[in-house]
Amino acid sequence: MNRLAPYAALLAFCLTTCVPVLAEEFAAPLEEADKILAPFSKEVTDCVKKVTQWLPPVEIQTLELALDKVSIIPGHEASSLRIPLRHARGPMIELHQALKDLDGALQFLRLLQTGKIGSVTAEAYDSLFITDRLARRFSKQDVRTCERSHVLTVIKECTVCTITRWNSVKP
């Protein structure tokens, strides 16, 4: 028996629900960012790597989530979940997960409530706009030097952070 067989349903759910939403949600902003970043994309990329080291992703145990206070925001193209933390982690007070539809949002919530997902990882900063902010608000020289104190005045830790990974997934 394949060791991954118990995960097949969960993997199918994630591939059909999460991946298409993320691809659609980020495609247009990333295309626009590519146009903005063309003159100095290597410098920006290098600086973004440094920012991800300064503000690493945060792993949050399912027990730390206020699952009784979740908001589901149904949408025409996609739905999303807003999950408050029981206790703030620095500026982080809530997590966000985009999903393909309402059924996907409900299924993800059930997986959290039943303990099938042991923890989630979330970015500690607003990752979608990081390159755009670096490109628009800094000179080439500022981006090239990428001084921590200067960059972190614009790139802030998020209060509503995006879930990027599901951890400790059980069949």
- Residue-wise pLDDT tens digits, 89-101: 989 999 999 888 8
Instruction: Please give the pLDDT value at position 28.
Output: 43
Buried b (16+ CB within 10 A) or exposed e, 56-69: ebbebebebbeeee
Confidence bin at 129 (pLDDT 50/70/90): low
3-class SS of residue 123: coil
Q: What is the pLDDT of residues 19-65, one digit of tens each?
A: 444 444 444 444 554 554 455 468 888 888 888 888 889 999 999 99
Split into its structural domains, the chain has a count of 1
Q: 92-99 and 79-89: which strand pairing?
A: antiparallel
Q: Which domain holds residue 124?
A: 5-169
